[in-house]
Amino acid sequence: MARIETVHAREVLDSRGRPTVEVEVHCQATHGAAWGRAIAPSGASTGRHEAVERRDGDRDWFDGDGVTVAVQAVHEVIGPALAGLNVTDQFTIDRLLCELDGTPNKQRLGANAILPVSLACAHAAAQAQRCPLFRHIAQLWQAACQRATPPDTDGQAPPSWGEPVLPVPMINMISGGLHAGQQMEIQDIMIVPWAARSVRECLSWAVRIYRRLRELLRERGLTWALVADEGGFGPNVDTVDEALGLVTEAIERAGLEPGAQVALALDVAASHFYRDGGYVIAELGGGPATADEFLSVLRAWTSHFPIMSLEDVCAEDDWDGWRKASLCFGRTLQLVGDDLFVTNLARLRQAIEAGIANTVLIKPNQVGTLSETLEVMAVARQAGYHCVVSARSGETEDITIAHLAVGTGAGQIKIGSVTRSERLAKYNELLRIADGWGDELPLKGHFAGVG
Ligand code: 2PG
Ligand code: MG
């Protein structure tokens, strides 16, 4: 038993210099004090259906981006309600957080107030139990999976992921869209070093590819020194095709085999170039194109380049486009929904029913609590979907998602590139976990639609 004594929040800054909420939870445990700390991240290419982030809107305070209202909500509403609860009882805490807010999208207190409380409780609970966070999350995950299992599925073979493992990272190399200068419509070109044998080897390959890419960009006279929001390059390419060619060549120059050793993953983030009822992209002449026309462009990319994963191939509410994309790619590629699902159970259920996508991007701040995040993952797993645990483009030194990916055995994590400390904080935490528990935790990717 570890009782919550105080919940303290403060305004801190994220990687874009925007305010966000940090929370500390202090408890009294049987064998002494325990505490935990967590910080809310923040997206740029946010989905329309995400839980709400509360900001002050006062122009004199961080240009309106301040989060003092959210900090106040922690001090005045959340802290007093949580005092005395057992910090290890995450499901009760998170249920209470949802009740205190009382809205479906957390707009009263703000997901940026609620999430760091939920995660800080998990950190404190792990400390109270004297175990690493991923072990505590693994316990919660088992319970979430049991809750998500319908009673009539007893005896069925368990889906292929869920045991704690170290995840294979998707590592950002080139950014476009809202994460860079919008010079290229799609948001991320990432590498997946799926043949590497350890997290260290994944990172060693990624750094080598990143450096070869920088050399290539310099040789081609493309602006290479600028790094985008997630630490990748934001070169002035004319087309996505050109950018895909550059990353593939960088893999070769690094002495690695594109496809067999290192595959590509794209975050198309199509909602952000969906205008006037169509997809506006240079490859299609820059006018609004239909989903069918856009899918033919995607088909060309996937046949010319070693792409294994496509995220947000259609706009968040273009269910018809998604249905077509799922028929086209769902069996052979990993088809990830981010803006589509926004880590939201109702939207995931709707997609499962319709056979749309095969993988869910998991961002805890899109839904607002750890328990709801685990519930979405458990329902996804039950339906045979895969999960990629993901950071946001606005990040901090918070490392919780590294433990979330390991504890749930998701097998994949998306953090950003191999530069910028808010990204490296998470990679370094994976390295620490691998160093401490690597003998018990293999590096294991679980991918949908491939192998
Ligand atoms: C995404 C994320 C992370 P953002 O779209 O997948 O890359 O971006 O946090 O801006 O939503
Ligand atoms: Mg995305």
Q: Which of 267, 310, 336, 360 to mutate to test the pocket of ligand 1 (most atoms within 8 A of CB)?
A: 267
> What does the pLDDT read at residue 150?
76
Count CB atoms within 10 A of the CB of residue 307: 22
* Ligand in closest contact with the CA of 414: 1
* pLDDT interval class at 271 (50, 70, 90): very high
State the Cα torsion 36-39-40-41 to the nearest 10°.
-130
Mean predicted confidence (pLDDT) in 247-260: 98
Is 414 one of the catalytic residues?
Answer: no
**What integer pLDDT is reported at residue 1 of this predicted model?**
87
Spatial strand order of the sheet with 19-29 comes to 2-13, 19-29, 32-39
> Ligand 2 center to residue 267 CA distance, Å?
5
Q: Does the pLDDT value for residue 451 go beyond 60? A: no
Mean of per-residue pLDDT scores for the chain: 95
Ligand 1 atom, smallest distance to 41 CA:
9
pLDDT tens profile 177-196: 888 877 799 999 999 999 99
Residues with CB under 6 A from ligand 1: 43-46, 187-188, 230, 267, 269, 338, 361, 390, 392-393
Q: Determine the atom of ligand 1 nearest the C-alpha atom of 392.
A: 9
Centre of ligand 1 to C-alpha 383, Å, is 24
> Which pLDDT score, from 0 to 100, does residue 155 have?
59
Please identify which residue in the block is written with the tokens 């690493």.
132
187 alpha carbon to ligand 1 midpoint, in Å? Answer: 8
Which atom of ligand 1 is closest in space to residue 230's alpha carbon?
7
Task: Tell me the two tokens of residue 81.
Answer: 């309600």
Percentage of residues in the chain having pLDDT higher than 70 = 98
CA of 439 to the centre of ligand 1 (A): 32
Instruction: Find the largest Cα–Cα distance for the chain.
Output: 67
pLDDT of residue 276: 86
How far, in Å, is the centroid of ligand 2 from the Cα of 221?
Answer: 29
**Choice among 106, 363, 414, 426 that is catalytic:** 363
What is the pLDDT at residue 290? 96
Over 70: is that where the pLDDT of 225 sits?
Answer: no
Instruction: Tell me the mean pLDDT in the region 70-92.
Output: 98
pLDDT reported for residue 227: 84
Average pLDDT over residues 281-307: 94
Q: Which of 392, 398, 412, 414 to mutate to test the pocket of ligand 1 (most atoms within 8 A of CB)?
A: 392
Question: Residue 391: nearest ligand to its CA?
Answer: 1
Burial of 197 (0-12, 13-18, 19+ CB in 10 A): exposed
pLDDT band at 30 (very low <50, low <70, confident <90, very high): confident
* pLDDT tens figures, 311-332: 999 999 999 999 999 999 999 9
pLDDT tens column, 122-146: 999 999 999 999 999 999 999 999 9
Atom of ligand 1 nearest to the CA of 172: 7
Ligand nearest to the CA of residue 228, numbered in listed order:
1
Residue 293 annotated in active site? no
Q: What is the pLDDT of residue 449?
A: 87
**29 vs 343, more confident:** 343
282 CB burial (10 A radius; 0-12, 13-18, 19+): middle
